[in-house]
Structure 1
Amino acid sequence: MASSTAASSRLISKHTKSLFIYGTAWKKDHTTRLVKQALVAGFRSVDTAAQPRHYQENLVGQALREAYEEGIVKREDIYVQTKYTAPMGQDVNNMPYCPLDPLETQIRASVTSSLNNLRHKEGSEEDSFINCLLLHSPLPTIEETLQAWKTLEAYVPNKVGALGVSNVTLPILEAIYEHSNVKPSVVQNRFYQATSYDVPLRSFCLEHDIMYQSFWTLTGNPKLLRSQPVNTLGESAKVNKAIALYALVMDLDIVVLNGTTSTQHMGEDLAGIDKVRQWAKQSENETEWNQIRAEFTKHIKP
């Protein structure tokens, strides 16, 4: 392995399974089956939300419990992430709290429902633990956002391991970081051209040890999918364009949400990323790999 490449390449230095999170949005009644299939395929991180409009958090919990009971995975080997979603992001006829209640009451009801849905064992909430809990989006004012954050902090570390925020801009992230006791550990945003690929925000995340997670990585980036560095990597490492794009995004210190509903793609995506990693680790490919990486960064500058 070329040590200089390994030192600067997240793709090479991190294990494949830590670079994907299985996304459970819009899976509806297929959620349990798909989450279990993802775990069997090798995914070890799962993202959901207390937002019945787009997620079936209870079915995610059912899938996890079945996987624990069947010996597919152990709880300690799984990263489980969920979210508190404000009323504006909920279905008014189906939400885990009363929208007329005070903000703190809403949040506590939402977290209670998540801890119940994601409990380790059937009928027991004692050992229920969420690895990371996110604000699904900032609230209408910074004051409300910080109030929500303070409420969430009370659950760390006993019931929640870490906190994060989704759909956030840099000024709001900076405000949360400055005024919080429990600093944000995760940012989950769309990674696409409309936000200039969050370059300054991602720099802040790197400086403050915050995991940046991308969603809409394929759907939001048709131009990147057709770009020359993606094509070149696909041809050289002998993987398809989607895997090549995933690999180059991961190399930017980004963890990718992957919500495929295809069992075949679940396995192929994990194996494909590992295939690119193995190719990039070969000393004879160091120059080409670094050229591809450098060219790719030109496509995502603001």
Structure 2
Amino acid sequence: MASSAAAPSTPTSKDTRPVFIYGTAWKKDQTVRLVKEALISGFRRIDTAAQPRHYQEHLVGQALRESYRSRLVKREDVYVQTKYTTPAGQDLDNMPYHPLDPLETQISTSVASSLKNLRHREESENDSFLDCLLLHSPLPTIEETLQAWEILETYVPGQINALGISNVTLPILQTIYENSKVKPSVVQNRFYPATSYDVALRAFCSEHGITYQSFWTLTGNPKLLKSNSVSVLAESARVNKAVALYALVANLGVEVLNGTTSAEHMEVDVAGVDAVRIWASGNEKKWAQITASFAKSIAI
């Protein structure tokens, strides 16, 4: 049996590790409202993409600028992450570059659009920057993927602070890591049984200081949501099962992509994870038992 990617740890009420990053896909014309509600609820990490088919990146930027102006948050307190999406993932009638452009032009045009959309000053793009930019997926060949990565490296550390990749397998991640000057800082993958919960890939991330972000954490795991460890934690910490699952996944060293469209759920999720941390700090033995049981259940 494979071991889990990161040893379970005991969080405390003073633990400041980020648990959530707010996902802005499929929010359409509600994007501004929902991003602002997420910030009000305590989210400080925002995920988007230069992919109009599923994301309204310009509306994410609008929500952020309005939040900066109202002093809800400062730019330095918010982590903003976007993606370059290849033509295969785009709506060819609505994309930030021409599908027949050479790769370098595709990327430079996409990055320019993201820097404009997510600028923190309405009147100026000159000092715009991104905390992280991900390849939305590997390109058709490893040679093209490495070429894309090399192009993105030219923006670091000037306009982009860090690079990452989504929808990636361990062999491709290892190849990028071994052949890059700017090492991957983020991996964003589905967290579900079909990939064996990325046990080996998460171990690689843990070993090399790469943040692993999960999506499909709830929708891809109906059995986990009903598992004994989730039920016991929910009852013990007096939180709902979704929050219990989030807390247990986060304890593996995972940052959870949370795209809820409910302001109530946003508040419940953030407050609930804090409640679990406080409960765990006073119930270390039971917490260790629950986390060990959960880690064993996904070591497949």
**Identity over aligned pairs, percent:** 70
Q: Residue type of the partner of 2:278?
A: Q
Which amino acid in 2 is paired with 1:292?
A: I
Q: Which residue number corresponds to residue 179 of structure 2? A: 179
Aligned pairs for 1:99-138 (under 5 A) are: 99-138=99-138
Residue of structure 1 equivalent to 2:15? 14
Render the CA deviation track for 1:4-50: whole Å, top value 9, x for unaligned.
xxx9526447326x211000000000001100010011100000000
Q: Which runs of 4+ in 1 moved over 3 A?
A: 10-14
2:79 counterpart residue number: 79
1:128-181 Cα offsets, whole Å, 9 max, x none, are 110000000000000000000000000000100000000000000000000000
TM-score (norm 1): 0.95
Equivalent position of 1:300 in the other structure: 298
Amino acid at match of 1:206: S
Give the letter for the 1:19 counterpart. Answer: V
**Partner amino acid, structure 1, of 2:182:** V
Q: Which residue of 1 aligns with 2:192?
A: 192
SS in 2 for 1:36: helix
Choose between structure 1 and 2 for higher RCO, CA contacts under 8 A separated by at least 6 residues. Answer: 2
Alignment of 1:172-251 (within 5 A): 172-251=172-251
Q: TM-score, normalised by structure 2?
A: 0.96
Once residues 98 and 92 of structure 2 are traced to their aligned partners in structure 1, the CA distance between those partners, rounded to angstroms, is: 9
Deviation for aligned residue 1:299: 1.2
Q: Which residue of 1 aligns with 2:45?
A: 45
Given that residues 51 and 85 in structure 2 are in contact (C-alpha distance below 8 angstroms), is that contact kept between their aligned partners in structure 1?
Answer: yes
Coordinate RMSD, CA, aligned: 1.1
Q: Which has the higher helix share?
A: 1
CA contact 2:53–2:90 (8 Å) conserved in 1? yes
Amino acid at match of 1:195: T
Count how many residue pairs are aligned between Structure 1 and Structure 2: 293
In the other structure, the counterpart of 1:262 is: 262
Q: Distance in 2 between matches of 1:10 and 1:232?
A: 16
CA distance in 1, matches of 2:153, 2:111: 12
Segments of 5+ residues of structure 2 without an aligned counterpart are 1-6
1:287 lines up with 2:285 in the alignment: yes
